[in-house]
Each structure stands twice: as structure tokens, then as C-alpha cells.
């Protein structure tokens, strides 16, 4: 039995004479213990407890800082000019400042997932009680919470157990944020170690949120073939009253479906969503449609289709109320973190609130999800007939008329993150040709900076959407809904082929839709690796983008590939918080397949994953602080993450240097000897310029020191093949990845052998790799 916060305070107690005053007993919560595995070395680690492990990674993967800005303005001694590594008034230099900003970003991300988890959990405890049993996969899942077991060191059984995990998480985040205060941490490498800590903590919070909601809301429970949901602008039936939910915290959406069901309104009102709330609503009910990723927000609001918009938290445009107001759509804010300036109507009669909204109210803040359900439905039903004339895009004449106002000042293009040539498209539009505007929408992230910059106040983004109206209306795709966790049996089946390298890798496409060249690239990359029998995993907006491309038969990637966690599977785990299952799968490979001790045994498990599990995360459109935190959780596990071109703006990478031979030595656990294992994986955090650069890089970063010769030959085949396809030549670094002749892919034998000869290649050993001296079984004399 583990007890926490036990406090007994007795100000006066006279035994015998039985005087008892001010007795205060606070036992906190007592966790019952169901797990026999002994507690490992790092239960509930504080921020320095895994510092040595972090150092091992950071020595190999050095930070490359790319400051956004030369100054620091965090305190009133500043602004300080840190140019060329000058120090600020507090003594901080540029490297420390950059790593501090990364830490702040990761803390914001981790705090966001944590506050989301806490808010969700409190709602679930209210509705289902502390004793509600966690169930993420029935009999198929023994290890229900791999990250919680690994980091916190307990085996949670009920919703109530998760409260303690969040207590720990909140304490750590507070400590981490405090380290960014002026006059605290000053060393960039220590900041980087804290970044890793924030990431690990973030993963824990995500796991809590997702296993709680899976258990309580009866989401698919690790089902490899869950049902399909409809996705796309055109999948929404605009002839019905339409409720749009946006954000990440699903209880309001769940209560909307409950209200619809309880009142016999299912099928009469259309419920659709954007971003992760849409994922989670679709995991709950077959009636929920997914409009698309974050970048679809503005085009869909401006289309006027939603009759009421319900926002919860995260990734919601700050101008939602203004945009919705233009098409007379009321907004219901449902979360204290995002009140939108609206009056609090939580305590008011739902009937009355709905009436105000129907009669022209701009919106209301309602902090009770049950009431949101009723108000949203009643408002949508009452308002839809009155909003008919707003459910239309502008006509072509308006676009042409407005385009004629364009004075070719280039302000829009200079504001556009993707430098889209709007002025040129405006000239064409003024002449009645809208194809140019339509073409831009494919590369547009829907930020509306162009609109904001235009001195003529032209609604550029709306006109792009109008120009693409036909295509948008035909946007109807199928996505497999988020399945949640990976089953233990799946892990047992793939454990060996992954660790030996015969399944060439696990590639996770995660994150937001801040793409430089459009979402099509994510779909193409995912397809490439599914075809090559990698395990493809997806979550969040990336999982949606992957669904938005069809083959000649009209099928999406989810319809063409199975959903199991196996070679050639395409696995949608779900929303942002479901990313925990991706890290969880890697952890389960170490614990279930390899039988490494799991409980509070972080270093050993991370060491196992880093050296043996060929997994890579690709966050092609990552933009948020949450994405930074998610990535850093993977870094601490030694899993590399690649981001797209806009990811350069995360302002630091963690790069290996393949030319430094000493950086790539591991211990051979059998002998204790240090062995050169090649740059595997070569980088830990890498921003790429183009899809062409990334395809071979993904294959390369799946290599691990532990690969068998057969596995390495398979991985090399994919790397060399993809490299040849995009670079048109063979890679210059093959010799670093060939350890013995048996590693050489048979089909490329002659070509590679002559290349190796040129490079003066010599054979090296294949170790039983570890970075941890304590795991050496027998030492060399």
C-alpha cells in the first residue's frame, strides 16, 4: 500500500485524562497497491533524477540554436542584446536563452495537456465516480498505462488513481517553469535536460487524459479495426441544423450527443468538429463528422454552414467570435481557459440562454457541459431556419469586384507564412479567372494574415475558399476513428521483428497542419512507408490530412491499409493526447516483449528503446507548444523526431555528427567493451526543408545499433532506394551503416561493395548495445 500526504497534527493530547484538542488528521488519498513488481530506481523522478541519462543523449545530439530574435525581454532589466553570445544583465547567454525559450514552450505544452487532463478527469469523477475502473482494451490489454507505470511507478486501476498522477505532474511543471525565472538555471545543457523532463511529464499527462476518456466514454478500446468516420468539408449535411465543435476537450461534444439521443433528435441535427475534439467525438459516436484539421477552421466558419459553434480549449482561433459574428453564428464557450469575453450563463436556465442566442445573442460562456449539450442543440434547432441566407459563400461577382480593388501592394504576400502569390491571383481574379485563387488554397494554412494585412480589406481567404467551392463541397473522405492503445498481443507479435530490424520501422505522423506545401505531402509520406511495410501510426491533425487524398478508386489510405499495429498497417490512435499510446507502444515493446522491468525504471527502458526500437516521429506541420512538448517526450526516450520547414522556427535542433566516431560508441552488454555502432539513429530533432529530403531520412533514422544483419539489410534497402529516388544517386554514408558484409542488401551487392572499397570500409562488431554501464553483464578484464 502506498500512502501519500499523510499528515497527523495533534496540538494537545492528554492520554488517560482524555483531553483532546484541535486534532487534525489528513490522510490524503491512499493508493491501494496491486502491482507486485518491485519499485525501480526512479519513481516519480524530479527534474535532476534523470539528468545523467539526458546528458548521454545530449552529448551525442548537440543543440543547434537558431535564435528568432537577438534580444531577451523577459524581465525589466532588459531588453538585453545577446547578439553573438553577449550576456544579458542577469548573466545569461544566447544559448541558455534559446534553451530557456524551448523549455518555456515545452512547459506551456505540458501544462496545457495537464490542465486538459485535470479538467476532464474532474468532470469524469463527478459523473462516474473515483471507483470507475480503467479499461482501455479489456482482456487484450494488461499494461493499461505504460507511461504511468514507468514514470510514476504505480499500476492505476480506477479514475481516482489518476488524480495522484496529476498531482505529481503539476508539481513537476511548476518546478520546471520556476527554473526559467531570471537568476535560476543558466546553463543551456541543464535547460535541455529540463526540456526532456517537461516532455516526459507531458506524455504522462496525455496518457492520463486519454485512458480516462477511453474508459469513461467508451471510446474504441485498442480495436485494430474500429469503425470509419466521415471526414471533409463536404461530409457535413448543411441542410440540417449544424453544430460545430472546435478544440480538444470533448465533454461538451459528448453531452451534445447525449442530449440528442435522449430527446430523439439523432439524425436530425448534424454534429461536426474541427481539430482533436472532432477526433474524440468521432471515437464516441458514429454520428459525428470531422470537418478537417486546424487549418480548415476559418474556411468552414466563414462558409456560414455551422448554426452554432461550441469551443472548448486549445488551437481555437482567438477571433472565433468575430468571425462567427460575421455570419451570425453564435459561439458557446465552455472552458475557463478560453472564455472569449462572453458573459457567464452557466447558472441560467438553458431554455432562456438558447432563446437569447436564437434572437441574436453573439454567444455565452457555459461551464457545465451538460447544459452546453442542451443549449447547443436548442440553439441550432431554433436558429437554423433563420440562418439560411448566411449559409452561402460570396458570389463570383463579388470576388471579381473586390479583386479589382487590389492595388498590387504585396502586403498580403509579405504577411503570408507560405509566401503565396496572392497579388498575381488577384490580377487574374479581377479578369474573372478564379483558378489562381483556388490553386493557392492547397498551400494555405488558413491563418488569414493576408486578410489582416490587406489595406483594401479584401477577404482574401474567403475568396480562395469561394474559388475552390466545388472542390470543398466534394471533400468527403473516410478515416478510421482513433483506436487508442496498442494491444499487448500486437506488441508480442511485432516485438521481435521490430527489434531485430525485420519490420523496418515504426513511423508516426503526428502534430498540426502548419504545412509549407500542403497536407498532401503527409499523405504521400504515409503511403510510401505503409507500402514498404513499415508500421505507420498517426494522430491529431496529421491523421486527418492523411485521409484527405484518394486513389483512383476513390479510397483513402485508411481504406486501403489495415488498422493493426503490424507491418503495413496504418494506425490512427486518435487525438493529440492519444500520442501517449505511441510512446506507450515503444515502452511496451521493452516491457512486454523484452521483459525489461517497467516499474519506475525509466533509464533502462529508454536505453532499450533508443538502441533497439526503430521508431521515428514526423511532425510535418508542427506549430504548437504542445507539439514541442510531445516531441521532447520522445527525445527523452531516445526516439528521433523530424519536423517540416516551419519547424525551423522551433529555433533549435538536436543534431548528431556522423563524422565524430567517438560519439557513436555503445557498450556491448555482453562484454562491457565499447563498440562503434555507427550513427544510429543519426539525429534526435531535425528540421527538414522538403519532403524529398525527409523520405530517405525517415528510413535512415529507423536504423538502430541492435539491428540483426537481416534487419539492417532491409533497412538499408529502403534507405538507399528512397535516397536514389529523391537524390538520384547513392548515399555517401552507406559505409557507416554496414557493419558486416551480411548487412549489404543482396540486390545491391556489387554496387555497394565497390562503394565500400572506395571508402576503405572495415568490418565492425554488432554489439548487444547499451549506454548504461550498469547493464553490462560481464566486464572485459
Partner 1 sequence: MALAESWQKAEVPGPLKAMLIPNPEVAASLISRSRNPVIVSGSETPKLEINGKRLIKYVEMLSERFSAPIVATSNTVRAFDEDRWRNVYSLSLAEATAKLSNPDWSVEGKNPPHDTALFIGFKYYTLWLALSNLKHYAEHLKTVSLEKYYQPHAAWSLPNLTDERWMENLEKITQKKEG
Query: Is residue 496 close enough to count as binding partner 1 by CB under 8 A?
Result: no
Query: Is residue 100 close enough to count as binding partner 1 by CB under 8 A?
Result: no
Query: Is residue 596 close enough to count as binding ligand SF4 by CB under 6 A?
Result: no
User: Do the strands 228-231 and 477-480 form a parallel or antiparallel pair, or are they unpaired?
Assistant: antiparallel
Query: Is residue 759 close enough to count as binding partner 1 by CB under 8 A?
Result: no
Query: Is residue 456 close enough to count as binding partner 1 by CB under 8 A?
Result: no
Query: Is residue 66 close enough to count as binding partner 1 by CB under 8 A?
Result: yes
Query: Is residue 409 close enough to count as binding partner 1 by CB under 8 A?
Result: no
Partner in contact with 426, chosen from ligand SF4, partner 1, none, beta carbon below 5 to 8 Å by kind: ligand SF4
Query: Is residue 426 close enough to count as binding ligand SF4 by CB under 6 A?
Result: yes
Q: Which one of 266, 456, 475, 693 is in contact with ligand SF4 (CB under 6 A)?
A: 456
The values of phi and psi at residue 534, to 5°, are -80, 165
The values of phi and psi at residue 406, to 5°, are -60, 130
Query: Is residue 408 close enough to count as binding partner 1 by CB under 8 A?
Result: no
Query: Is residue 323 close enough to count as binding ligand SF4 by CB under 6 A?
Result: no
- How close are the terminal C-alpha atoms of the chain, in Å? 44
- How buried is 456 (Cβ within 10 angstroms: 0-12 exposed, 13-18 middle, 19+ buried)? middle
Query: Is residue 427 close enough to count as binding partner 1 by CB under 8 A?
Result: no
Query: Is residue 293 close enough to count as binding ligand SF4 by CB under 6 A?
Result: no
Query: Grid coordinates in use for 208?
Result: 492520463
Query: Is residue 411 close enough to count as binding ligand SF4 by CB under 6 A?
Result: yes
Give the CA angle between residues 142, 148, 154 to the nearest 5°.
Answer: 75
Q: Which is nearer to partner 1, 676 or 727 (CB)?
A: 727
Q: Which is nearer to partner 1, 483 or 683 (CB)?
A: 683
Partner in contact with 676, chosen from ligand SF4, partner 1, none, beta carbon below 5 to 8 Å by kind: none
Q: Which is nearer to partner 1, 82 or 102 (CB)?
A: 82
DSSP state string for 256-324:
HHHHHHHTT-TTTSEEEEETHHHHHHHHH-TTEEEEESGGGHHHHHHTT--SEEEE-SSS--TTHHHHH
Measure the CA–CA gap between 182 and 92, rounded to whole angstroms. Answer: 9
Beta bridge partners of 572: 538
Query: Is residue 644 close enough to count as binding ligand SF4 by CB under 6 A?
Result: no
Q: Which is nearer to ligand SF4, 101 or 375 (CB)?
A: 101
Measure the CA–CA gap between 5 and 224, rounded to whole angstroms. Answer: 41
Query: Grid coordinates in use for 82?
Result: 545577446
Q: Which one of 651, 712, 715, 718 is in contact with partner 1 (CB under 8 A)?
A: 651
DSSP state string for 348-366:
S-HHHHHHHHHTT--EEE-
Query: Is residue 655 close enough to count as binding partner 1 by CB under 8 A?
Result: yes
Partner in contact with 83, chosen from partner 1, ligand SF4, none, beta carbon below 5 to 8 Å by kind: partner 1
Query: Is residue 684 close enough to count as binding partner 1 by CB under 8 A?
Result: no
Q: Of the candidates 218, 52, 18, 254, which has an alpha carbon nearest to the alpha carbon of residue 133?
A: 218
Which element (helix H / strand E) includes 12? strand 7-14
Half-sphere exposure in the Cβ direction for 438 (13 Å, CA): 12
Query: Grid coordinates in use for 162?
Result: 489518476
Q: Of the candidates 523, 509, 520, which has an alpha carbon nearest to the alpha carbon of residue 573?
A: 509
Output the CA torsion sign for 699, 705, 707, 709: positive
Q: Which one of 406, 472, 491, 771 is in contact with ligand SF4 (CB under 6 A)?
A: 406
Query: Is residue 64 close enough to count as binding partner 1 by CB under 8 A?
Result: yes
Q: Which residues contact 123 (CB under 8 A, 6 or more apart)?
A: 251, 369
Q: Which is nearer to partner 1, 328 or 520 (CB)?
A: 520
Q: Of the candidates 289, 435, 329, 313, which has an alpha carbon nearest to the alpha carbon of residue 369?
A: 313
Measure the CA–CA gap between 24 and 30, rounded to whole angstroms. Answer: 17
In the window 171-230, what residues touch ligand SF4 (CB under 6 A)? 182
Q: Of the candidates 251, 258, 268, which has an alpha carbon nearest to the alpha carbon of residue 310?
A: 251
Q: Which one of 726, 742, 751, 759 is in contact with partner 1 (CB under 8 A)?
A: 726
Q: How far is the CB of 444 from ligand SF4 (least distance, A)?
A: 3
Q: Which residues contact 733 (CB under 8 A, 6 or more apart)?
A: 658, 679
Q: Of the candidates 377, 374, 275, which has an alpha carbon nearest to the alpha carbon of residue 316?
A: 275
In the window 431-450, what residues touch ligand SF4 (CB under 6 A)? 440, 444-450
Query: Is residue 92 close enough to count as binding ligand SF4 by CB under 6 A?
Result: yes
Kindly indicate which of the ranges 31-39, 69-77, 556-564, 607-615 contains the residues binding partner 1, using the contact rule CB under 8 A: 69-77
Q: How far is the CB of 435 from ligand SF4 (least distance, A)?
A: 15
Partner in contact with 380, chosen from ligand SF4, partner 1, none, beta carbon below 5 to 8 Å by kind: none
Measure the CA–CA gap between 462 and 326, rounded to whole angstroms. Answer: 12
In the window 49-78, what residues touch ligand SF4 (CB under 6 A)? 72-75, 77-78
Partner in contact with 747, chosen from ligand SF4, partner 1, none, beta carbon below 5 to 8 Å by kind: none
Q: How far is the CB of 147 from partner 1 (least distance, A)?
A: 29
Query: Is residue 649 close enough to count as binding partner 1 by CB under 8 A?
Result: yes
User: Do the strands 242-246 and 270-274 form a parallel or antiparallel pair, or are they unpaired?
Assistant: parallel
- How buried is 617 (Cβ within 10 angstroms: 0-12 exposed, 13-18 middle, 19+ buried)? buried
Query: Is residue 218 close enough to count as binding partner 1 by CB under 8 A?
Result: no
Query: Is residue 103 close enough to count as binding ligand SF4 by CB under 6 A?
Result: no
Query: Is residue 443 close enough to count as binding partner 1 by CB under 8 A?
Result: no
- DSSP conformation class of 723: H
Partner in contact with 73, chosen from ligand SF4, partner 1, none, beta carbon below 5 to 8 Å by kind: ligand SF4
Q: How far is the CB of 451 from ligand SF4 (least distance, A)?
A: 7
Query: Is residue 430 close enough to count as binding ligand SF4 by CB under 6 A?
Result: no
Answer whether 571's CB lies under 8 Å from 538's CB. yes
Binding interface with partner 1 (CB under 8 A): 62, 64-71, 81-85, 94, 411, 414-415, 417, 419, 453, 516, 645-646, 648-649, 651, 653, 655, 657, 683, 686-690, 692-693, 726-729, 732
Binding interface with ligand SF4 (CB under 6 A): 72-75, 77-78, 80, 88-90, 92, 182, 406-412, 415-418, 420, 422-423, 426, 440, 444-450, 453-456, 458, 460-461
Amino acid at each position: 500500500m502506498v500512502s501519500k500526504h499523510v499528515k497527523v497534527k495533534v496540538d494537545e493530547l492528554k492520554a488517560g485524562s482524555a483531553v483532546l484538542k484541535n486534532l487534525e488528521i489528513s490522510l490524503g488519498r491512499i493508493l491501494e497497491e496491486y502491482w507486485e513488481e518491485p519499485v525501480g530506481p526512479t519513481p516519480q523522478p524530479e527534474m535532476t533524477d534523470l539528468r545523467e541519462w539526458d546528458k548521454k543523449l545530449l552529448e551525442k545530439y548537440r543543440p543547434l540554436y537558431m535564435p528568432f530574435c537577438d534580444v531577451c525581454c523577459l524581465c525589466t532589466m532588459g531588453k538585453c542584446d545577446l547578439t553573438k553570445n553577449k550576456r544579458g544583465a542577469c548573466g545569461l547567454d544566447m544559448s541558455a536563452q534559446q534553451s530557456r525559450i524551448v523549455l518555456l514552450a515545452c512547459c506551456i505544452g505540458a501544462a496545457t495537456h495537464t490542465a486538459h487532463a485535470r479538467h476532464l478527469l474532474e468532470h469524469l469523477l463527478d459523473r462516474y465516480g473515483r471507483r470507475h475502473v480503467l479499461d482501455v482494451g479489456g482482456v487484450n490489454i494488461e499494461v493499461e498505462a505504460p507511461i504511468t507505470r514507468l514514470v510514476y511507478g504505480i499500476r492505476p486501476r480506477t479514475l481516482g488513481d489518476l488524480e495522484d498522477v496529476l498531482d505529481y505532474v503539476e508539481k513537476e511543471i511548476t518546478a520546471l517553469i520556476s527554473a526559467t525565472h531570471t537568476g535560476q538555471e543558466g546553463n543551456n545543457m541543464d535547460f535541455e535536460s529540463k526540456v526532456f523532463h517537461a516532455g516526459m511529464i507531458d506524455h504522462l499527462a496525455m496518457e492520463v487524459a486519454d485512458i480516462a476518456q477511453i474508459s469513461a466514454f467508451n471510446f474504441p478500446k485498442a480495436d485494430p479495426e474500429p469503425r470509419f468516420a466521415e471526414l471533409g468539408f463536404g461530409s457535413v449535411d448543411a441542410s440540417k441544423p449544424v453544430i460545430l465543435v472546435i478544440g480538444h476537450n470533448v465533454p461538451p461534444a459528448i453531452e451534445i450527443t447525449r442530449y440528442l439521443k435522449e430527446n430523439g433528435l439523432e439524425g436530425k441535427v448534424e454534429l461536426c468538429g474541427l481539430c482533436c475534439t472532432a477526433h474524440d467525438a468521432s471515437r464516441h459516436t458514429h454520428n459525428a463528422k470531422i470537418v478537417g484539421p486546424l487549418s480548415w477552421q476559418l474556411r468552414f466558419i466563414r462558409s456560414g454552414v455551422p448554426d452554432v459553434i461550441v469551443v472548448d480549449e486549445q488551437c481555437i482561433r482567438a477571433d472565433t467570435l468575430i468571425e462567427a459574428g460575421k455570419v451570425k453564428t453564435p459561439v458557446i464557450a465552455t472552458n475557463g481557459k478560453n472564455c472569449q469575453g462572453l458573459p457567464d450563463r452557466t447558472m441560467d436556465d438553458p431554455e432562456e440562454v438558447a432563446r437569447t442566442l436564437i434572437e441574436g445573442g453573439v454567444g455565452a460562456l457555459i461551464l457545465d457541459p451538460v447544459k452546453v449539450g442542451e443549449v447547443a442543440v436548442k440553439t441550432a434547432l431554433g436558429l437554423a431556419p433563420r440562418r439560411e441566407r448566411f449559409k452561402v459563400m460570396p458570389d463570383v461577382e463579388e470576388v471579381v469586384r473586390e479583386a479589382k480593388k487590389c492595388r498590387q501592394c504585396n502586403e498580403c504576400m509579405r504577411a503570408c507564412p507560405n509566401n503565396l502569390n496572392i497579388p498575381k491571383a488577384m490580377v487574374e481574379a479581377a479578369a474573372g479567372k478564379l483558378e489562381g485563387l483556388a490553386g493557392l488554397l492547397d498551400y494555405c494554412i488558413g491563418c488569414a494574415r493576408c486578410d489582416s494585412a490587406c489595406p483594401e480589406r479584401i477577404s482574401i481567404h474567403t475568396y480562395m475558399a469561394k474559388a475552390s467551392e466545388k472542390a470543398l463541397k466534394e471533400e468527403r473522405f473516410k478515416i478510421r476513428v482513433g483506436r487508442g492503445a496498442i494491444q499487448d498481443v500486437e506488441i508480442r507479435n511485432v516485438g521481435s521483428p521490430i527489434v531485430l530490424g525485420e519490420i523496418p520501422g515504426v513511423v508516426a505522423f503526428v502534430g498540426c497542419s502548419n504545412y509549407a506545401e500542403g497536407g498532401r505531402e503527409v499523405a504521400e509520406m504515409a503511403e510510401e512507408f505503409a507500402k514498404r511495410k513499415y508500421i505507420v501510426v498517426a494522430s491529431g491533425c496529421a491523421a486527418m490530412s492523411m485521409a484527405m487524398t484518394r486513389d483512383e478508386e476513390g479510397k483513402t489510405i485508411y481504406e486501403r491499409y489495415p488498422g493493426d499495429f503490424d507491418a503495413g498497417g496504418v494506425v490512427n490512435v486518435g487525438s493529440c493526447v492519444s500520442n501517449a499510446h505511441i510512446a506507450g507502444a515503444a515502452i511496451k515493446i521493452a516491457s512486454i516483449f523484452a521483459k525489461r522491468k517497467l516499474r519506475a525504471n525509466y533509464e533502462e527502458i529508454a536505453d532499450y528503446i533508443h538502441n533497439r526500437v526503430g521508431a521515428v516521429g514526423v511532425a510535418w506541420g508542427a506549430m504548437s507548444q504542445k507539439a514541442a512538448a510531445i516531441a521532447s517526450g520522445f527525445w527523452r526516450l531516445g526516439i528521433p523526431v523530424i519536423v517540416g520547414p516551419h519547424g525551423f522556427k522551433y529555433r533549435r535542433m538536436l543534431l548528431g555528427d556522423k563524422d565524430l566516431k567517438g560519439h557513436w560508441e555503445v557498450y556491448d552488454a555482453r562484454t562491457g567493451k565499447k563498440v562503434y555502432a555507427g550513427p544510429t539513429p543519426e539525429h534526435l530533432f531535425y528540421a527538414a526543408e522538403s519532403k524529398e529530403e525527409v523520405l530517405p531520412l525517415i528510413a535512415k533514422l529507423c536504423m538502430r545499433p541492435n539491428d540483426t544483419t537481416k534487419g539492417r539489410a532491409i533497412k538499408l534497402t529502403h534507405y538507399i532506394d528512397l535516397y536514389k529516388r529523391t537524390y538520384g544517386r547513392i548515399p555517401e554514408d552507406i559505409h557507416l551503416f554496414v557493419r558486416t558484409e551480411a548487412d549489404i542488401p543482396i540486390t545491391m551487392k556489387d554496387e555497394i561493395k565497390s562503394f565500400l572499397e572506395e571508402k576503405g570500409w572495415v568490418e565492425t562488431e554488432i554489439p548487444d548495445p547499451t549506454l548504461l554501464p550498469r547493464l553490462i553483464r560481464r566486464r572485459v578484464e
